[in-house]
Amino acid sequence: MKNKTLFIVLGLLVVAVMIAACASEPPKPTEVPYPTKGITYMIPFDPGGQSDREARRQQPYLEKSLGQKVTIEYKVGGGGAVGWAELVRQKPDGYYIAGINLPHIILQPLQQDTGYKTEQILPVVFFQRTPLGLAVPANSPYKTLKEFIDAAKAKPGEITVGGSGTFSGHHIATLRLQKLAGVKFNYVPFTGAAPQMTAILGGHVNSVIANSDDLVKYKDQLRILAMADAERFPLLPDVPTFKEQGIDMIEAIDRGVGVPVGTPDYIVKKLETAFLEIAKNPEVIADMKKQGFVPLAMGAAESKAHVEKMVAIYKELVKDIK
């Protein structure tokens, strides 16, 4: 009888230990079907800019791949900060995704309270790059980079340089050019590349730091003084790089899509697969190149590592510029 009682007690103890062990393990997230409803694809810049045009190109492919309607909406302001602050407040369930830009999502939180932190945005893919260039209107008195720099030295703070947003890639390129050339410009931020280009074409600013695709599109109406790339841009072979002209400056904008941190891995994977399928589509690649973009196809892990690398670079760069 005693043995029987002992076995019962031991058995109960074993069961109690097993229950306690199971309770101490965090529950694994349950995979639910995704997507089962429409997805919002938010663009934090004005319609007509690079992010918007690429989202419009991707939209039909995404709807076919994911089997749901993809709605593009806009949250404009703060060089993208208004939209990214909205992104990180969303439920991390894959139904609200946003276009993201480097170095914007790094620079902005380093400089001011933006309503979001870089680490709150989980990159899904990076699919596009645009090297930056300096351009003036075709009828500008400045025919070379040297003439432009000399004029800026003679008139500190008077020459206007238009760019897309504050603490954006365009802004940091302007600050770097000031530092490297020993001059002072008047930087004029716009809410996206579309109004930026409208301003330069309308003669409202003296110059722009602009994206390669816009420079290609408007090359007959502009005089492009320099490209901030390691080599001459293929569609602008006659335009020298800054480095060729004695200024060691390489700047570009990387574009991709992100979701709030905490989005389940299986959802990130589903989105990653859909976007990479588009990024590797030969027709999409050919169109991008023809328009002046540099195609990318960086998946989630590579994109996350890329952001971390760029955070380290820009933290040092900002210290040097201040």
Q: Is 10 inside any structural domain?
A: no
Our count of domains for the chain comes to 2
CA distances from 63 to 71, 128, 144, 306 (A): 10, 20, 47, 28
Does residue 17 fall inside a structural domain? Answer: no
Assess whether 223 and 311 both reside in one domain: no
User: Are residue 239 and residue 137 in the same domain, yes or no?
Assistant: yes
Domain span including residue 289 = 39-129+254-321
Q: Do 190 and 232 lie in a common domain?
A: yes
Whichever domain contains 289, its CATH number is 3.40.190.150
In the predicted structure, residue 27 carries a pLDDT above the cut 90: no
Burial grade of 169 (CB within 10 A; 0-12, 13-18, 19 or more) = buried
Q: What is the pLDDT of the chain when averaged over all its residues?
A: 91
69/167 same-domain check = no
- Assigned domain for 297 exists: yes
Per residue in 206-250, pLDDT tens? 999 999 999 999 999 999 999 999 999 999 999 999 999 999 999
Domain end, chosen from 184, 218, 245, is at: 245
User: Please, which pLDDT band fits residue 29 given cuts at 50, 70 and 90?
Assistant: low
Q: Are residues 122 and 48 in the same domain?
A: yes
Q: Same structural domain for residues 161 and 309?
A: no
pLDDT of amino acid 5: 52
Domain identity same for 80 and 179: no
- Out of 245, 280, 299, a domain closes at 245
In a domain, 32, yes or no: no
pLDDT tens-digit map of 185-205? 999 999 989 999 999 999 999
In a domain, 223, yes or no: yes
Residue 215's CATH number: 3.40.190.10
The reply to whether 278 and 233 lie within a common domain is no
Q: Do 223 and 295 share a domain, yes or no?
A: no
Position 15 confidence tier, pLDDT thresholds 50, 70, 90: very low
Q: Is 190 part of any domain?
A: yes
Residue 201 and residue 52 share a domain: no
Higher pLDDT, 14 or 272: 272
The full 3-state SS of the chain, as one line of letters, equals CHHHHHHHHHHHHHHHHHHHHHHHCCCCCCCCCCCCCCEEEEECCCCCCHHHHHHHHHHHHHHHHHCCCEEEEECCCHHHHHHHHHHHHCCCCCCEEEEEEECHHHHHHHHCCCCCCHHHEEEEEEEEEEEEEEEEECCCCCCCHHHHHHHHHHCCCCCEEEEECCCCHHHHHHHHHHHHHCCCCEEEEECCHHHHHHHHHCCCCCEEEEEHHHHHHCCCCEEEEEECCCCCCCCCCCCCECHHHCCCCCCEEEEEEEEECCCCHHHHHHHHHHHHHHHCCHHHHHHHHHHCCEEEEECHHHHHHHHHHHHHHHHHHHHHHC
What is the percent of the chain with per-residue pLDDT over 70, rounded to a whole number? 90
Residues 144, 292, single domain; the answer is no
Domain-embedded: residue 53: yes
Within-domain flag for 26? no
Q: Global pTM?
A: 0.86
pLDDT confidence band for 47 (50 / 70 / 90): very high
- Both 125 and 135 in one domain: the answer is no
Boundary (domain end) residue, out of 218, 245, 272:
245
**Which class for 217: exposed (0-12), middle (13-18), buried (19 or more C-beta within 10 A)?**
middle
